[in-house]
């Protein structure tokens, strides 16, 4: 038998392809940056031209291949310029989370050994607080700070002005070259870092354009509420450049009223963010007079999206919510809850409230505590494990090696997968409530409680119990003017869950503590409860 080698070209998959395509095909598409006094606009061509100057300037400062250039920035045009320049010149972009505690921020800057930090003027105070603990060679500041805190820095625009041409020619790179470093938000212990490669970013950027994920295309204008330091704003910066979708960058103007007026003014077709953002937008949109009709979809991920939120958007505003699941370790796209063909009415809501349907390119398996692989029957519950070309194979410096085995990532998420690839996450492993040896899903309880008309937000944590080892404590933020009526809430849960799931411990919170990326902060709730700061009502 004769065999043939493939006759196809071997082309490295690098970010340069995305930049070239954006420049040659979509040069007139635009980036909008929201400022306190209006909106700034630039075309893709302008952004990429400025990115070439930035690359030259960084090389002039001595930045070499593989070195880390960090950003401590809101979502704005200049942040996108760094996204274009840094990986494409062969250095590694490290997107710093500007909501980390100073200790954690210093830790990740040192762990990644960042050579340069590009910071927005408004966050210079944060750098000043850790100045004695970090030693980047250069600090570059975008905008004019109110106070320089005695820090030495280069001005971003002046630096670009030192380069009198934009002929920088992007180098040839191997597709496995490291491109972007991102640390987890560190809700347990120190943040862990992953490094995306050019290849993984290339493939992921294509995946978000497919119809069974979020179908990003030239007809879109995407509002990036999710920060560019939270898993690359879920792939939108490169995805948008590659398919010619306009990008709207809201910087720090993220309150519901602000987002609603940005949507009314700039008419994006999709917007992406965590559910807490969409809860706030809903509040603002239903009390104000805003036109949000430009939106074809609100993409929600990073935490479970309650069915009531999805229904409220449909019924009150005529808007569609699209839930997705991902992690820092997964670039992040893994699953998107696009309902199957023919699903309508309540059936459609049921599918949209699932965690998501597996996207092409990623494999999943469900594994129990004994290490057995369980069937995809929608019932068998276990830890979800993933593999694929944009899934991490390790953490920076080989940390926490137990998260990876046999080529699979252990996600730490517990759930089920059905025969059509729909995934339902019931908990993070660390949040599972073990009552009398059986699991209670905190996510399911939260979603049901948030369906009660008096409740704005709900989080359920495990509390130690003499007889049952653990029992659920439900912490609620009530809607304005409402009182806690535990019996009514328990009655509300009764038709939906086994009686032993129903919490007997309840408490109210004036507001929900949030993590640095806007998720309910259960670690903080456990701490407050452990230290007796929460007044618990028990029945």
Q: Which of the residues are catalytic?
A: 184, 329, 434, 439
| CA nearest to 140, candidates 34, 233, 69 | 69
Binding pattern for the stretch 264-303 against ligand AMP, x by CB under 6 A and - elsewhere: -------------------------------------xxx
Q: Is 255 in the site for ligand AMP (CB under 6 A)?
A: no
Q: Interface with ligand AMP by CB under 6 A: which range of 56-64, 193-201, 411-419, 530-538?
A: 411-419
Question: Do 275 and 282 form a contact (C-beta atoms < 8 A)?
Answer: no
Residues 6 or more apart from 274 whose CB is under 8 A from it?
226, 300, 301, 302, 303, 517, 518, 519
CA distance 213 to 210: 5
Q: Which of 22, 231, 364, 478 binds ligand AMP (CB under 6 A)?
A: 231
- In this chain, which of 123, 277, 304, 445 binds ligand AMP, going by CB under 6 A? 304
Backbone angles phi, psi at 3, to 5 degrees: -125, 150
Residue 388 to residue 112: CA distance in whole angstroms: 25
- Min CB(356)–ligand AMP separation in Å: 6
Minimum CB separation from ligand AMP for residue 337, in Å?
Answer: 8
Measured distance CA(469)–CA(16) in Å, rounded? 55
User: According to the binding rule CB under 6 A, does residue 517 interact with ligand AMP?
Assistant: yes
Residues of this chain, 181-210, that bind ligand AMP according to CB under 6 A: 184-185
List alpha helices for 324-426, DSSP H.
345-352
CB of 514 to ligand AMP, least distance (A): 12
DSSP character string of 458-525:
EEEEEEEETTTEEEEEEEEEEPTT----HHHHHHHHTTTS-GGGS-SEEEE-SS--B-TTSSB-HHHH
177 vs 516, beta carbon nearer ligand AMP: 516
Confirm or reject binding of residue 56 to ligand AMP (CB under 6 A).
Answer: no
Q: Tell whether residue 328 is a contact of ligand AMP (CB under 6 A).
A: yes
Region from 31-39, 115-123, 321-329, 520-528 binding ligand AMP, contact rule CB under 6 A: 321-329
Residue 371 sits at φ, ψ, to 5 deg, of: 85, 10
- For the bound state, the minimum distance from the C-beta of residue 220 to ligand AMP, rounded and expressed in Å, comes to 21
Distant-in-sequence, close-in-space partners of 139: CB < 8 Å, separation ≥ 6: 116, 117, 119, 127, 151, 152, 153, 154
Q: Which residue is nearest to ligand AMP (CB)?
A: 328
Does 327 engage in binding with ligand AMP (CB under 6 A)?
yes
**Closer to ligand AMP by Cβ: residue 29 or 519:** 519
In this complex, which beta carbon is closest to ligand AMP, that of residue 237 or of residue 326? 326
Tokens of 493: 């849960």
String marking each residue 109-148 x if it binds ligand AMP according to CB under 6 A? ----------------------------------------
Distances (CA, A) of 145 to 38, 105, 148: 19, 20, 6
Residues in contact with ligand AMP by the rule CB under 6 A: 184-185, 231, 301-304, 323, 325-328, 332, 355, 411-413, 425, 428, 517
């Amino acid at each position: 038998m004769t065999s043939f080698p493939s006759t196809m070209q071997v082309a490295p998959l690098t970010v340069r392809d995305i930049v070239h395509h954006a420049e040659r095909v979509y040069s007139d598409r635009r980036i909008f940056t929201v400022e306190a006094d209006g909106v700034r606009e630039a075309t893709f061509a302008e952004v990429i031209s400025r990115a070439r100057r930035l690359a030259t300037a960084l090389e002039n400062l001595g930045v070499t291949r593989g070195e880390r250039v960090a950003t401590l920035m809101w979502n704005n045009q200049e942040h996108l310029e760094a996204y274009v320049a840094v990986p494409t010149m062969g250095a590694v972009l490290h997107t710093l989370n500007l909501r980390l505690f100073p200790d954690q921020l210093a830790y990740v800057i040192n762990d990644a050994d960042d050579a340069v930090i590009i910071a927005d003027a408004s966050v210079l105070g944060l750098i000043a607080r850790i100045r004695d603990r970090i030693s980047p060679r250069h600090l570059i500041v975008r905008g004019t700070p109110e106070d320089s805190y005695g820090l030495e820095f280069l001005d971003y625009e002046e630096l670009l002005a030192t380069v009198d041409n934009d002929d920088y020619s992007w180098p040839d790179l191997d597709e496995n070259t490291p491109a972007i470093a991102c640390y987890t938000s560190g809700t347990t212990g120190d943040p862990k870092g992953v490094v995306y490669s050019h290849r993984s970013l290339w493939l992921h950027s294509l995946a978000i354009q497919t119809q069974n994920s979020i179908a990003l295309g030239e007809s879109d204008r995407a509002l990036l509420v999710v920060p560019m330091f939270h898993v690359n704003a879920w792939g939108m910066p490169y995805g948008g450049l590659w398919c010619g979708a306009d990008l709207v960058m809201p910087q720090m103007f993220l309150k519901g009223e602000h987002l609603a007026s940005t949507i009314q003014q700039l008419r994006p077709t999709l917007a992406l963010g965590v559910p807490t953002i969409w809860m706030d937008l809903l509040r603002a949109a239903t009390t104000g007079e805003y036109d949000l009709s430009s939106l074809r979809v609100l993409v929600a991920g990073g935490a479970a999206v309650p069915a009531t939120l999805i229904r409220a958007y449909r019924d009150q505003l005529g808007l569609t919510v699209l839930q997705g699941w991902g992690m820092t370790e997964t670039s992040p796209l893994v699953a998107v809850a696009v309902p199957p063909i023919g699903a309508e009415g309540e059936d459609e809501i049921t599918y949209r409230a699932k965690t998501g349907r597996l996207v092409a390119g990623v494999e999943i398996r469900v594994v129990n505590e004994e290490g057995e692989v369980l069937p995809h029957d929608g019932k068998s519950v276990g830890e979800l494990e993933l593999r694929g070309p944009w899934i991490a194979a390790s953490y920076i410096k080989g940390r926490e090696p137990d998260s990876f085995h046999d080529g699979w990532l252990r996600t730490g998420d517990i759930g089920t997968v059905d025969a059509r690839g729909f995934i339902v996450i019931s908990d993070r492993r660390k949040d599972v409530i073990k009552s009398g040896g059986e699991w209670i899903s905190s996510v399911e309880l939260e979603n049901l409680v948030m369906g009660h008309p008096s409740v704005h937000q709900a989080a359920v944590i495990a509390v130690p119990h003499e007889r049952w080892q653990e029992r659920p404590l439900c912490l609620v933020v009530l809607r304005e003017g409402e009182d806690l009526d535990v019996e009514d809430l328990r009655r509300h849960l009764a038709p939906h869950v086994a009686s032993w799931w129903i919490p007997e411990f309840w408490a109210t919170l004036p507001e929900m503590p949030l993590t640095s990326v806007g998720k309910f902060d259960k670690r903080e709730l456990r701490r407050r409860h452990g230290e007796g700061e929460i007044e618990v009502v028990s029945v």
